[in-house]
Amino acid sequence: MSKEITMYGAAWCGDCRRSKAYLDSHNVTYHYVDVEKDLAAADKVIEINGGAKSIPVIVFSDGTHLTEPSDLALEAKLEELSIL
């Protein structure tokens, strides 16, 4: 199974920086999409969140996603997918 992860975020977003730092510090490979530079991605975030513009949104290969996850929630999901 693919372990591809896509993270939608923005440079000004503190939660995005925290989640990005967590993934980086655990050597997790992911695709980062800046919603400020990619308006289609910004629309995708709103679609995923059922109308909310909340970021970060981290989408996993199993079709699930986390919005504004805590480091603990992110860690649990990565362990569930055998990424950590």
66 vs 2, more confident: 66
Rounded distance between C-alpha atoms, residue 34 and residue 42, angstroms? 8
Look at residue 38 in the predicted model and tell me its pLDDT: 96
Q: Is 3 exposed, middle or buried (0-12, 13-18, 19+ CB in 10 A)?
A: middle
- Name the pTM for this structure: 0.94
Question: In sequence order, what are the beta bridge partners of 13?
Answer: none
Pick the CATH number of 5-80 from 3.40.30.10, 3.90.1560.10, 3.40.47.10, 3.30.230.10: 3.40.30.10
Indicate the average pLDDT of the chain. Answer: 95
- Domain locations in the chain? 5-80
Q: Are 35 and 12 in contact (CB under 8 A)?
A: no
pLDDT of 1 strictly over 50: no
